[in-house]
Structure 1
Amino acid sequence: MNTTGPEDKGLRLIPFRGLRYVPERVGSLSAVTSPPYDVVVRPDGLHHLESADPHNIVRLILPQAATPEARHRQAAATLGEWLSEGILAPDPEPALYVYEQRRGDLLQRGVIGALALSGPADGIVLPHEDVMADVVADRAALMRTTAANLEPLLLTYRGEDEPAGSTAATAATAPTTSTNGTSAVIERTVRRPPLLTTTTEDGFRHRLWSVTDPGDLDEITRDLADHQALIADGHHRWATYLRLRAEHSATGPWGYGLVLLIDTARYPLQVRAIHRLLHRVPVDRAIAALSGSFRVRTLDTPLPEALDALADARTGGGAGTGTGGNAFLLAGDGRFHLIDRPDEALLERTVPTGRPEAWRSLDATVLHSTLLDHIWKIPDDPEHIAYIHDTEAVVRKAERDGSTAILMHPVREDVVRDLARQGVTMPRKSTSFGPKPATGLVLRSLTLG
């Protein structure tokens, strides 16, 4: 069932009573925050967050217990305890929240709220990546058991210049400033003292404000009603929202999901790659299987120079997406191996047809269709492949374990958005948009609305 009415053709963001940490009850706000759950993938990172403060949000988003059912029950019990003990408390009235992240010259501002959920056919929220069924099932069980949205999705839109259904060409010609609408509300709001300010370990300063004025809320509602959004981060959580909406009344709290909405015409996001780690596959074996299929060059250079070589190979000026052809870096034996110039006949045989050329030429498409499925014959499941955002971390782990790290070059945002508008999803974990919102600054209870 669609949560939007017949007159609704765009985004609908509603206020909610945010659950927030009570500063006096925790060591510091920075000590209780976390990156999104899927970024905290290494045990050392999980343990670091757990030890930072006994009330770190990671105990809710990644609870530790013997079975999935026990983990979900533990998270729900912990949330209940923190609420009863006053560690977390709901704000006194429903609000939208202006959220700011700043580090050096990088500034990002957006609005956090409860978004009316829409299906793919509505064309209001555009996914661009496939999802893993087991991850969606786990996130759904956690959300169902805790009855809470524990961390927001990251959605992007293009401000005044991109009404729902517009094309990339028309969006590119419009202005990026506004004297009214959501951007104007944000700019007015940040002149006030914030609800909270904290600086996290990554050097980002975070500030949060509540927006409760009816005029401001109406201005945001009118502005967003003509726009669509791209999922930048949180495809599994979006799929989880839709699954849980189908289980409940779409007009109730389960018909909405917690999101951070960023106008990238004003605050462009950075797009990074998500790298792969092939468990129990040494680099020499991976390279040997490429004979006759890809050109392989060994680089005796440090990581930054190796990444520069990857960028040069990937952006050499070819057709399609404006790139020089598919290229990857393999690591794990103390050196870097640049593989590029795949055999064109091999690509024709292994890459699925019936999709746009921009999709067929994606590195992630070639990686999964040609390398993983055809050459290496490695199943895409957690037993065989890990997805790791941090470049240095994936290289270190590959070297430590004697496995193979595959370093990817990022996809341009305009390619992502154009494919999403065509209803074409990219292979899972193709992109990492950022900066990502810190988890733990504001939560949404499904029992409070």
Structure 2
Amino acid sequence: MVSIKPFRAVRPNSYDVDQIASLPYDVVSKSEVLKLVEDNPKSFLNIDRTDVRFETEDADEVYELAKDKLADFMDKGWLIKEEEPALYIYRLLQGDRLQYGLVTTIAVADYADGHIKRHEFTRPDKEKDRIRHNDCSDANTSPIFLTMRKNSKLKFLLKKERDARLPLYSFDSFNDTNHCIWRITDPATIENIQS
């Protein structure tokens, strides 16, 4: 079984979340990123794709700028750090398509030990870039998406949590997608989800 843990997220404040939300860093071209960040100084791509501002994509300056931009977003209050560890339920709705996820941390050892099955082969240059980005920023700025087998108990627990409170965020973003996020901080609930 894979071990999951709550974490103290750095996340957008509630007022700027729709401006900070961005497409995944690896699905937009350099020219698209430049346009998006020019039009929106709060776009998270200002942190996640600092390479667009340099001739050489893997120069030390690329990663230093990412670190500086992250600190700048924090200083301006666009991003805030949670006071206590939490898990997050994430819902995406696009047209008739509805998806739920659980935002959590996992142990790299679970991947290395084969408890998490590899679903694609990433290019070594992309892996190196994200490792340098994360190390320099001291943050994981790009989530890794995993799937799991159906689990009716977990589904019930997550539905109960969603129904018990208003979401932390609910906003529309790219591609006419609605995003809703609920925060879970209750230790007993977190323990139930972990088990």
Normalising by structure 2, we get a TM-score of 0.90
Amino acid at match of 2:147: T
For residues 135-164 of structure 1, what are the alpha-carbon distances to aligned partners after superposition, in whole Å with 9 as ceiling and x for unaligned? 21111111110000112111001123xxxx
CA contact (8 A) 1:110 1:186 kept: no
Q: How does 1:244-283 map to 2 (within 5 A)?
A: none
Question: How many Å separate the matches in 2 of 1:123 and 1:20?
Answer: 30
How far residue 121 of structure 1 moved from its aligned partner, in angstroms, is 5.7
Q: Name the residue aligned to 1:321.
A: none
How far residue 120 of structure 1 moved from its aligned partner, in angstroms, is 5.3
Q: Name the residue aligned to 2:179.
A: 206
Structure 1 residue corresponding to 2:21, chosen from 33, 53, 56: 33
For the aligned residue pairs, the C-alpha RMSD in angstroms reads 1.6
How far residue 55 of structure 1 moved from its aligned partner, in angstroms, is 1.7
Structure with more contact order per residue of length (Cα contacts < 8 Å, sep ≥ 6): 2
How far residue 75 of structure 1 moved from its aligned partner, in angstroms, is 0.6
Question: How many Å separate the matches in 1 of 2:110 and 2:167?
Answer: 35
SS state of the match for residue 159, structure 1? coil
1:122 aligns with 2:94: no
**Aligned positions, number:** 190
Q: Name the residue aligned to 1:133.
A: 124
Question: How many Å separate the matches in 1 of 2:188 and 2:12?
Answer: 28
Amino acid at match of 2:49: L
Greater fraction of residues in helix: 2
Question: How many Å separate the matches in 1 of 2:48 and 2:185?
Answer: 28
Normalising by structure 1, we get a TM-score of 0.41
Q: Name the residue aligned to 2:77.
A: 86
1:60 aligns with 2:47: yes
For residues 101-155 of structure 1, what are the alpha-carbon distances to aligned partners after superposition, in whole Å with 9 as ceiling and x for unaligned? 0122111111101111226562211113222222211111111100001121110
Amino acid at match of 2:18: S
Question: How many Å separate the matches in 1 of 2:35 and 2:161?
Answer: 34
SS state of the match for residue 199, structure 1? strand
Q: Name the residue aligned to 1:159.
A: 150
Structure 1 stretches of 5 or more lacking a match?
Answer: 1-9, 161-177, 223-449
Q: How does 1:356-371 map to 2 (within 5 A)?
A: none
Q: Name the residue aligned to 2:35.
A: 48
Cα distance change of structure 1 residues 71 and 110 upon mapping to structure 2, 3 Å threshold = same
Amino acid at match of 1:209: W
Q: Name the residue aligned to 1:291.
A: none
1:183 aligns with 2:171: no
Q: How does 1:187-336 map to 2 (within 5 A)?
A: 187-191=159-163, 192-222=165-195
Question: How many Å separate the matches in 2 of 1:79 and 1:50?
Answer: 14
Question: How many Å separate the matches in 2 of 1:141 and 1:133?
Answer: 12
Q: Name the residue aligned to 2:12.
A: 21
Q: How does 1:407-418 map to 2 (within 5 A)?
A: none
Cα distance change of structure 1 residues 49 and 158 upon mapping to structure 2, 3 Å threshold = same
1:98 aligns with 2:85: no
Cα distance change of structure 1 residues 92 and 120 upon mapping to structure 2, 3 Å threshold = closer
SS state of the match for residue 94, structure 1? coil
CA contact (8 A) 2:92 2:180 kept: yes
SS state of the match for residue 125, structure 1? coil
Identity %: 28
For residues 135-194 of structure 1, what are the alpha-carbon distances to aligned partners after superposition, in whole Å with 9 as ceiling and x for unaligned? 21111111110000112111001123xxxxxxxxxxxxxxxxx2x3x2122101221200
Structure 2 stretches of 5 or more lacking a match?
Answer: none
For residues 358-397 of structure 1, what are the alpha-carbon distances to aligned partners after superposition, in whole Å with 9 as ceiling and x for unaligned? xxxxxxxxxxxxxxxxxxxxxxxxxxxxxxxxxxxxxxxx
